[in-house]
Structure 1
Amino acid sequence: MTSTQLVEVVAGVLVRPDGRFLLASRPVGKVYAGYWEFPGGKIEPGEAPYAALVRELQEELAITVTAATPWLVQQFVYPHAHVRLRFYRVSAWQGEPQAQEGQQLNWQTPGQLDVAPMLPANTPILRALSLPAITALTCAGELGEDAVLAALPARLAAGLSLLIVREPDYARDQLASWVARLAELTRPAGCRLLVNAEPDWLAGWPVDGVHLNSARLAACRQRPDFAWVGASAHRPEELQHAAELGLDYALLGHVLPTASHPDAPPLGWQGLACQLASAGPRLPVYALGGLGDADLPAACEAGAHGVALMRGAWA
């Protein structure tokens, strides 16, 4: 019989500088023994989630966490329990992880999982780990296509792996031509190309997915049939809707003052953190609006997956 009591759990996603992340097997004697998961455990009554993370990773791995930021929240109903997992990305720690409870440990590369089976509540995290910390949006309608194309090679050389085409004033044919020019550079570099447009427009285009603006997100009732789908959001309810559709990521903003919305007050970092905490994001959320590369640490500290750059990407 399934328990109706919600069990609060914290999990740590230890990520090395090369992007590899740590998985642990569940030891003999525990439910789902032999399944792989991100290390962590139950939050004790009255215990703060971050404190629980530090304690659990010390007990399980003999490490001391020195840098971790809130990330994703997942709920899952198992036959034995209803759990809510709060995932933290752990970027720094003291000591080398060592199994303290008879479990196996294995470092994995995003997109190349070679252990199985995976504990179900942890599976969505694997796809999120393949998304970069920084994405960029085009604004050729403002800066000119030549300016974006001139700056793009440096961005790609620096590791840009997700580019969103955002040209709200382009007609369909003009947008198709622009996407084709971008694909000539992004495809050889292994950079995913998504387009903010009507999904029906993209048939036969050299793209990896579609990005939904907030109006299309509101009208959407099922995930569009693309390998990658993202959306723009402005409120926690929109983030929830994107998660319910099974989208891969969302953009949330605007965080700082921006020329695109001169009369709308920005969220600010505290506002961003409050919105993310309210939403309990089930999908990666990029902070957007008036940002540059240097804003990545602040965005992650607020609970975002990373930053989405528009004008700041092409300066």
Structure 2
Amino acid sequence: MSNPTIHVAAAVIIRPDGRFLLASRPADKPYPGYWEFPGGKIEAGETAYEALVRELDEELGIHVTHATPWLTRQFDYTKLRVVLSFFRVTAWQGEPHPREGQTFAWQSADDITVAPLLPANTPIIQALTLPPILGITQAGDDIAGFLPKLDHALTQGLKLIQVREKQLTGSALSEFAQAVVHRAHAAHARVIINADAALAQQIQADGVQLTAAQLAAIGSRPDLTLVGASCHNAAELDLAEQLGCDYALLSPVLPTASHPGAPTLGWEQFASLTSNRSIPIYALGGLNAADLELAQQHGAHGIALLRGAWQ
């Protein structure tokens, strides 16, 4: 007999400085003293968003004015299955204050200072380490001319880069990728190598971006810190989740200069495909930096940019 399931709306309340709110569980609830993201049970007749607004008013005394859907995670406790619908809350009225005896702490994803965390929230902390913008290299035939653009983007705060230069092979690709890794790591940014896990390991990059074909054929997750997947439909997103990928790219959202006239997802289909997914998804295709907010409103973790990352 399967355990009963409850559905919960959970809030990642994020300040402008990027820090987010964790709350300790009161003594009269299961897992007392454990730290979690605020939220609570979705009642009959409520949407997840309606439950989020109600719970944050009841628990924290704040009124949500801007929240976007993000991840859905399932966690099996000893006698209970919990399905958590996470929202990123970036604007609210009022100052959070404990209305149920909680203790609060503003935290950073790479420096958690409270413990123990409720087990279901650990993957959410890991997802929060991924920045909202992923830049995909566009060196083409001008490697020397691209590197200053990379340096500029790093000074502007770019923190995640995918090396994707299909015109390069062998030592030329290795040398270019090493140059990107050297510059990125000096700026505390991470580098993903497209389609080549062996090269990523060899040059001490941070991860690999699997192609859709690799995703379908691979038997196990590559032994790298970050593993992403290039996806175009629900079946490929399913495979990315099953493999335990850290994120996926979903494309093409809008028409692109490189593939004029090709079919696109559009924002409504993108939102449908990303709904209830357990891993962060970047929108890709025909986007620029100004589209970030729109993408997040449709369930994206962030956006992946080619030309737009280097302008």
- Name the TM tier (shorter chain): over 0.9
Measure, in 1, the Cα distance between the counterparts of 2:145 and 2:266. 29
Q: Say if 1:133 and 1:307, in contact at 8 Å, map to a contact too.
A: yes
Measure, in 1, the Cα distance between the counterparts of 2:224 and 2:178. 18
1:252-277 C-alpha deviation (Å, 9 max, x unpaired)? 01111113333421111112111112
State the AA in 1 paired with 2:239.
H
State the identity %: 52
State the AA in 2 paired with 1:249.
Y
Partner of 2:92: 93
1:157 aligns with 2:133: no
1:174 aligns with 2:172: yes
Measure, in 1, the Cα distance between the counterparts of 2:199 and 2:144. 24
Match of 2:308, SS state, is: helix
Residue segments in structure 1 that go unaligned for 5+ positions in a row = none
1:106 aligns with 2:102: no
Q: Which moved more, 1:147-156 or 1:248-257?
A: 147-156
Q: How does 1:132-281 map to 2 (within 5 A)?
A: 132-141=131-140, 144-277=142-275, 280-281=276-277
1:172-199 C-alpha deviation (Å, 9 max, x unpaired)? 2221011122123212101101100221
- The offset of 1:5, in angstroms, is 2.5
1:94-116 C-alpha deviation (Å, 9 max, x unpaired)? 11110110111111011111111
Q: CA RMSD in A?
A: 1.4
State the AA in 2 paired with 1:74.
R
Measure, in 2, the Cα distance between the counterparts of 1:148 and 1:289. 21
Q: How does 1:288-307 map to 2 (within 5 A)?
A: 288-307=284-303
- The offset of 1:3, in angstroms, is 5.6
State the AA in 2 paired with 1:60.
E
1:283 aligns with 2:272: no
Match of 1:251, SS state, is: strand
Partner of 1:125: 124
1:110-156 C-alpha deviation (Å, 9 max, x unpaired)? 11111111111111000111110111001223x63234223212211
1:32-62 C-alpha deviation (Å, 9 max, x unpaired)? 1111110000000010111100000000000
For the structure 1 residues 314 and 50, does the alpha-carbon distance in structure 2 shift closer, same or farther, using more than 3 Å as the test? same
Match of 1:259, SS state, is: coil
Match of 2:227, SS state, is: strand
- The offset of 1:283, in angstroms, is 0.8
- The offset of 1:309, in angstroms, is 0.2
Match of 1:203, SS state, is: helix
Q: Say if 2:163 and 2:193, in contact at 8 Å, map to a contact too.
A: yes
Partner of 1:75: 74
User: TM-score normalized by structure 1?
Assistant: 0.95
Measure, in 1, the Cα distance between the counterparts of 2:107 and 2:79. 28
Q: Say if 1:12 and 1:88, in contact at 8 Å, map to a contact too.
A: yes
Measure, in 2, the Cα distance between the counterparts of 1:104 and 1:276. 33
Match of 1:290, SS state, is: coil
State the AA in 2 paired with 1:109.
S
Match of 1:54, SS state, is: helix
Q: Say if 1:290 and 1:312, in contact at 8 Å, map to a contact too.
A: no
Measure, in 1, the Cα distance between the counterparts of 2:203 and 2:294. 36
Measure, in 2, the Cα distance between the counterparts of 1:238 and 1:264. 19
* Count of equivalent residues: 311
Measure, in 2, the Cα distance between the counterparts of 1:84 and 1:237. 21
Q: How does 1:56-75 map to 2 (within 5 A)?
A: 56-75=55-74
State the AA in 2 paired with 1:269.
W
Measure, in 1, the Cα distance between the counterparts of 2:65 and 2:138. 38
Measure, in 2, the Cα distance between the counterparts of 1:295 and 1:222. 34
Match of 2:257, SS state, is: coil
Match of 2:151, SS state, is: helix
Measure, in 2, the Cα distance between the counterparts of 1:154 and 1:47. 47
Match of 1:140, SS state, is: coil
For the structure 1 residues 237 and 46, does the alpha-carbon distance in structure 2 shift closer, same or farther, using more than 3 Å as the test? same
User: TM-score normalized by structure 2?
Assistant: 0.96
Match of 2:117, SS state, is: coil
State the AA in 1 paired with 2:292.
L
Measure, in 2, the Cα distance between the counterparts of 1:202 and 1:193. 9
Match of 2:305 among 301, 304, 309: 309
